[in-house]
Amino acid sequence: MSRPDGDVTPDRAPEAVAPAGPASVAAPAERAPRRRLSTSVRVALAVTLVLAVGVWSLATFAYLSVSQRLGADVDRTLLREAESYSAALGQPAKNADLAGQTRAYLQARASAYSATNPILLVRFADGRVISNSSVKLESSAANTRALDLKMADRRFLTLSFLGRSYRAVTAPVRDTSGTPVAVFESALPTSLADDVATQLLTTLVLAGSVVVLLGAMLSAWAARASLRPLRRAASTASQVGHSSLTRRIGYNGPDDEVGQLVSAINAMLDRLEIAFGEQRRFTADASHELRTPLAVVAGHMEVLKRGGLTDEEKHEELDLVAHETDRMSRLVDDLLALARLDAGKPRAYQALELSTLLLEAAARARGLGDRVIEVKAPADVWVSGEPDQLMQAMLNLLGNAVAHTGAGGHVWLRATPGIGGVAIEVSDDGPGIQDEDLPRVFDRFYRAQGPRRGERGGSGLGLAITKRLIELHGGDIHASNRPEGGARFTIVLKRIPAPPGA
């Protein structure tokens, strides 16, 4: 199917094409889930959790360490009882009355069993058992193998009897031929060590809980106190508007992260106040500058509408309207240039040979008027920059010098290299700049003859544009007067090595 203009369209639905350019609207990004807890609560909870984990870890470690230590102490106590019995009887046993000697030993050790003294018993080959306790551990099923003479050996074991747990050690009693004739056993209930370890764990848990509670309270207080300046900062920032840019955040704390943040916010408010002030002044000055030529154009157009003018008078009125229109056009162009420069859009910089740049600028400036422009710049001095922007800055300064010198006047353009930089000087033999005007010559809409007057109809933006161009190149510019008379503008740019093959 053909279009009226001859183009051919495919016989299928066209693919959807997303709109490009400023009309494109990006899909809104998904918002992160909102946290329900405040920052101070989250900090307090985090500190409390760390304290709780630390306290429980310490309590567990202490409990295990003490339990292991108490178990080792019980084993040593039981082992000493076995060694003491062996030493009392002598090994190997030589006394025929082993039972009587054992009974005498047990009576000498303790007349009765107590919770802190070990249970001592000896089982003989004929099955007899002599003990210092009424607890018949020999009846424990777990103890049968340990007390068997055929399996007699020194060993540690844990056994249960009548619902209680005991730690025991066995040791064989041998005769002179090495044959086991009895088995000695000493035992202690494990409840004593378990009670001590449990009591220690309970004490640690209670003390740790108090520490965690105090830590939670202190962390909550510290978090609130630390974040209080941030809350004041948020409150102050929420109250800042066009009419309240003088508000600042009060802070008398240390220069920590919070102090640095408060200082940064106050500095930002300072910059905003200055920026809004400059914007208001800029808007007022721009409005005034545009209002004047518009009023002139409106007045002359009204004269033309009334009629009754000769052809010569009509041409004169039209010339005045064209002049004011050109003036407004130049002003708008300068405003657009400043807006683009303030946006700070990056441009591609390149190595520029300075003498070539200055010679070309002087050649262009000679067409602005009958002036003698002298250029003095050493060769092989290089800077980094955007050619059009640096050329515009040079022409602004040269045009300003031409505008303030008479016919046949002199303008000098010199470059003086230094360590790491190069100074570019544009001077003239005109009347110079009044001392009270020097600090403001780079202000927008400011003219040396007065803020809104000028014989040559300039916009008062040329030097402001020049300053911004130089700043974008990392340089600096300042104004002064020559001792011999006349104005002098000095630009300082960074110098770079000559590129290979230059």
Q: What is the pLDDT of residues 333-372, one digit of tens each?
A: 767 766 776 666 667 889 999 999 999 999 998 888 889 9
Q: Which residue in 175, 9, 202 sits closest to 96, CA to CA? A: 175
Residue 28 scores a pLDDT above 50 = no
Give phi and psi for 128, each to the nearest 5.
Answer: -65, 145
| Interval 183-207: pLDDT, tens | 999 998 888 788 888 888 888 888 8
449: tokens are 């003859």
Check: CB of residue 449 under 8 Å from CB of residue 404: no
151: tokens are 């399996």
CB burial of 89-119 (b: ≥16 within 10 Å; e: otherwise) equals beeebeeeebeebbeebbeebeeebeeebbb
Residue 451 scores a pLDDT above 50 = no
Where in the chain are the domains? 257-340, 346-496
pLDDT, mean of residues 262-273: 82
DSSP 307: -
Residue range 257-340 in CATH 1.10.287.130: yes
Q: What is the pLDDT of residue 493?
A: 94
220: tokens are 């909550």
Give phi and psi for 33, each to the nearest 5.
Answer: -60, 135
Q: Cα separation of 91 and 168, whole Å? A: 21
Confidence of residue 25 (pLDDT cuts 50, 70, 90): very low
Check residues 488 and 237 and name the one with the higher pLDDT. Answer: 488
The CA radius of gyration of the chain, in Å to the nearest whole number, is 51
| Distance (Å) of CA 395 to CA 286, 305, 374 | 23, 41, 14
DSSP 465: H
Confidence of residue 456 (pLDDT cuts 50, 70, 90): very low
Check residues 325 and 15 and name the one with the higher pLDDT. Answer: 325
33: tokens are 């889930």
In what order do the strands lie in the sheet containing 129-131?
129-131, 119-124, 180-189, 164-174, 155-161
| Distance (Å) of CA 27 to CA 16, 24, 31, 324 | 17, 10, 12, 47
Q: Cα separation of 209 and 214, whole Å? A: 9
Q: Residue 385 pairs with which residues in a beta bridge?
A: 350
Q: Peptide bond preceding 439: is omega within 30 degrees of 0, i.e. cis? A: no
Q: What is the mean pLDDT of the chain?
A: 79
| Interval 227-248: pLDDT, tens | 777 777 777 777 776 566 777 7
Q: Number of helices (H) and strands (E) in the chain: give both, helices first.
A: 8, 12
pLDDT, mean of residues 412-426: 92
| Distance (Å) of CA 89 to CA 84, 100, 138 | 9, 11, 22
Check: CB of residue 293 under 8 Å from CB of residue 327: yes
| Interval 207-217: pLDDT, tens | 888 888 888 88
Q: Cα separation of 192 and 499, whole Å? A: 89
Check residues 449 and 497 and name the one with the higher pLDDT. Answer: 497
Residue 130 scores a pLDDT above 70 = yes
**What is the architecture of the domain spanning 346-496?**
2-Layer Sandwich (3.30)
Q: Residue 450 pairs with which residues in a beta bridge?
A: 447
Q: Cα separation of 90 and 204, whole Å? A: 47
Q: Cα separation of 115 and 189, whole Å? A: 8
| Interval 72-98: pLDDT, tens | 888 888 888 888 888 887 766 666 678
Q: What is the pLDDT of residue 1?
A: 39
Using alpha carbons only, give the angle 471, 473, 479 rounded to the nearest 5 degrees.
Answer: 45
465: tokens are 């544009």
Query: What is the CA 8 to chain-centroid distance, rounded?
Result: 58
Confidence of residue 292 (pLDDT cuts 50, 70, 90): low
Residue 264 scores a pLDDT above 80 = yes
301: tokens are 């157009």
Q: Within 10 Å of residue 218's Cβ, how many Cβ atoms?
A: 13
pLDDT, mean of residues 259-288: 76
Q: What is the pLDDT of residue 13?
A: 38
Q: At which residue do the structure tokens 């378990």 appear? A: 194
